Structure 1
Amino acid sequence: MVFLKSQKQRNTLQEIGKMADEFGKRALYYEQQQQFPFENMKDLRNQGYTTLTLPQSLGGQGATLYEFLLMQERLAQGCGSTALGMGWHLGCVLDICEDNNWEKDVYHEIMNAVKNGALLNRAATERATGSPTRGGKPETTATEHEDHWVIHGRKTFTTLAPALDFYLVSASITGSEEVGDFLIHKGTKGVSIDETWDSIAMQSTGSHDLVLDNVKIDKRYFLETIGPKRKMKANAWLLHIPACYLGIAQAARTYALNFASSYQPNSIQTTISELPNVRRLIGEIELELKQARHMLYSVAEKWENTSDRESFKPELAAVKHTVTNNAISIVDKAMRIVGARSLSAKNPLQRYYRDVRAGLHNPPMDDATIALLAQSALDGLKTDQ
């Protein structure tokens, strides 16, 4: 609560918290049934949460980056999969509205749809290229015709695929070295979802393959060219990723503390919360949570108050690395406190444990972050000299 700056933020967080707690009750069912959480999506739409980062001038709630992260962390305490999926949608909206590079009519068409509950996400990853942050060129192609484009290919890890209304697809432009972003509506002929998502982590994100079989779209849905400037851009909206894993870690911490404060084996005269080894683990959990939370929100706050945002790339990457790895450590310690019961299929800790591991594979990956920090340090040394 120390990170809340206004009564409005407190009230919104309480509303999100009520939904998150309900989502937490449903999480086991969705995993066991291997179902996408459509009910969660419906509740989020009805509450207006899907417009959280849409500017107020366009009918949204106009949340800042800082507020976006606060709400995402709380949502993830209930269901990490739901939070991560919504983070991609809300983060894309925040990014698109800040850049505002699209043609005016398309921009207002899509943002009006978002105001009315539509969901969108980028479809950029492919099996052959791996993460788009690694620089691989898409094998998905876009071929220009007189009055339309034809998009053909397959995208992997399309989070929220069963619920998306719009796909922002990266594709190599035929006969050119350029790569562009294209807007494709759900239900367009040739668009289908191949239900390939079988991950043991974040099972309910619905991150299936998007199949594009010679999809014909209007010329105006060529959104922009993905040039060097965009590739080098500092993307603070991606902080929704560590915020999600921080929320999962908080949920693990709460479960472990409640367990430690109530469990008393007959071999001792008190609950295990009084045992020195358990107290050490609890203290370490608190320390790692504070380190992660202060780093996340201090960088987000500084981002909002600086004009030199491009210099923040190392800071943003360091936040993701630190928070995600701290979250993994926190969940591990929570499981050590609870013991073998944490491995029960009905125990939420085993889901938290699987879900936080997924953070290692969200951008930027740890090796890329370390390389970036090293280069930044060496560049800074040259500047100082």
Structure 2
Amino acid sequence: MGPDHRDLLAENPDPRVRELVSHVLTPELLDRVRSRAPAYDERNEFCHEDLAELIEAGYLRALVPEELGGLGWDLPDLVAGQRLLAAHAPATALAVNMHHVWVSAARQMVARGHSEFRQVLEEAAAEEIFAFGISEPGNDAVLFDSGTEARVAEDGSVSFTGIKIFTTLAPVWTRLGLFGRDVDGGETPLIFGFLEREADGWRSLDDWDTLGMRATQSHTTVLEGARVPAGRIVRRLPAAPNRDPLVFAIFSSFLGLLAAVYTGIGDRALELAVAHAGSRTARTTGQPLSTDPDIRYRLAEARLHQLVLDAQLRGVIEDIETGADHGELWFPRLVTLRTSATRTARDVVDTALQVSGGGQYRRLSELSRLYRDVLAGVHHPSDDESAHRTLATSLLGPLEG
């Protein structure tokens, strides 16, 4: 049914990337992942079997340097892998994305000389699973402020009290990267650290019953004095927009890898649309619908947008990896990539449904599931309004007052 695993990878022009990714994400592994996706969605269940296979394959330590026990991939390698994984099981790809975001951010920070983040790379190599405890209800400042209270003890440990939403990997994480605002204030009140699952003072609400991306099991996490030892506190920042390297490392990793997942959804939707158009026959002409000029135009338009996104994704990710200096234009570029990826994915899935016939509207069809999964894109930071504020500021300057 349309291009297979090798054909999707063949679109990557770098033979090194193709070899690395296919060695870990083998066709057999990906077939099993795809076969399990419908049941995870139907049962609203975490993708335990997928995660176990990906850990065994070494995929969760892909970005860890070889000298620390990882696979030694770079960010373009991982983006290719996430795009391919998302084409087989979007929710599984989005789930492991959050682990990869922390490893990617830590990799950037260590490369810049911030050795306190080395523990993330070492623990990822030891198969610890990192989750993203950043999002909070009503916090549109994202990384620039927090509604979670942080209390610093005399020994340097920090206790966090607050609510974190969309905690992907909730059933399995062993390390939760989080932040909060120091109740005592100061010039750098935002405190970042990594909570161990064995710690007291937190609980996970079993509240993930959503339209799509169900296998991520992104429960709400309630922090009630959850203590992070001093050695696991990694950064303090001001509570305001700033260009700290950690802010860039998290934003660039999060938005780049998120774009990879949604690009992969578009890849699969177009793949299915081509297959359905070729397998259906018009009763009026007796010809395959793949010869219908309207359908050909729609699919060509979808392909056009996918190829534009492909070029954008590769370019931005390569610039992140090589440390290109875009100065003040970095954040506009990153939010544009995220917005383009989620918009394009929605448009391509919509086109696929239009050309594939009413049978794909059934709840258990793969396109129906992709349609529900792709809608999650509207809720990821930076959302559409935030992206436009960033772009408007870059063009017109900040609003006064």
- Report the equivalent of 1:233: 248
Could you tell me the TM-score, scaled by structure 2's length? Answer: 0.87
Structure 2 residue ranges without an equivalent (≥5): 1-9
Q: CA deviation at 1:173?
A: 1.3
Question: Which amino acid letter does the alignment assign opposite residue 292 of structure 2?
Answer: L
Q: Is the 8 A contact 2:160 2:180 kept in 1?
A: yes
**Code of the aligned partner of 1:312:** W
| AA at the equivalent of 1:275 | D
1:288-299 correspondence to structure 2 within 5 Å: 288-299=305-316
**How far apart are residue 21 of structure 1 and its match?**
2.8
- CA separation in 2, counterparts of 1:51 and 1:22? 21
Among 371, 375, 386, the alignment partner of 1:357 is: 375
CA contact (8 A) 2:191 2:237 kept: yes
Is the CA contact 1:190–1:212 (under 8 Å) kept in the aligned structure 2? yes
Specify the alignment match of 1:204 in structure 2: 215
- What displacement does 1:140 show? 3.5
Determine the C-alpha separation between the residues in 1 that align with 2:86 and 2:260: 8
> Which residue number corresponds to residue 67 of structure 1?
77
Distance 1:7 1:148, change over 3 A: closer
The one of 373, 378, 387 equivalent to 1:369 is 387
Do 1:129 and 1:137's aligned partners in 2 also have CA atoms closer than 8 Å?
yes
Q: Name the aligned partner's letter for residue 51 of structure 1.
A: R
Of 44, 50, 53, the residue aligned with 1:40 is 50
1:232 and 1:215 map into 2 onto residues whose CA distance is 23
Note the 1:141-180 alignment, pairs <5 A.
Answer: 141-146=150-155, 148-177=157-186, 178-180=189-191
- In structure 1, the residue matched to 2:272 is 255
- AA partner of residue 146 (structure 2): K
Task: Give 1:356 shift.
Answer: 1.4
Corresponding position: 1:22 with 2:37: no
Distance (whole Å) between structure 1 residues aligned to residue 348 and residue 184 of structure 2:
50
Distance in structure 2 (CA, Å) of the matches to 1:375 and 1:146: 42
Matched, 1:81 2:96: no
Structure 1 Cα separation of the partners of residues 97 and 123 of structure 2? 18
Deviation of 1:95 after TM superposition, in Å, equals 0.8
Pick the aligned partner of 1:283 from 282, 295, 300: 300
Letter of the aligned partner of 1:216 in structure 2?
A: R
Letter in structure 1 aligned against 2:243: K
- C-alpha spacing 1:77/1:190, structure 2 compared with 1 (3 Å): same
Q: How many residues align?
A: 377
Q: Distance in 2 between matches of 1:271 and 1:149?
A: 65
Alignment check: 8 A CA contact 1:122 1:168 kept: yes
Indicate yes or no: 2:201 matched with 1:190.
yes
CA shift for structure 1 position 331: 0.4
Q: Deviations over 1:288-333 (max 9, x none)?
A: 1111111111222233344415442222221111122111100000
Unaligned runs of 5+ in 1: 380-385
Distance 1:14 1:377 in 2: 44
Preserved contact between residue 343 and residue 350 of structure 1 (Cα < 8 Å): yes
In 2, distance between residues paired with 1:305 and 1:102? 16
Q: Which runs of 4+ in 1 moved over 6 A?
A: none
Residue of structure 2 equivalent to 1:383:
none
Please state if 1:221 is matched with 2:237: no
Shift of 1:204: 1.0
- Given that 2:12 and 2:18 are in contact with CA atoms closer than 8 Å, whether structure 1 keeps it comes out as no
Question: Which amino acid in the other structure matches residue 349 of structure 2?
Answer: V
Contact persistence 2:103–2:120 (CA under 8 A): no
The separation in 1 between residues aligned to 2:381 and 2:291, in whole angstroms, is 40
Whole-Å separation in 2 of the counterparts to 1:129 and 1:378: 25
Does the 8 A contact of 1:102 with 1:224 survive in 2?
A: no
The structural deviation recorded for 1:153 is 2.2
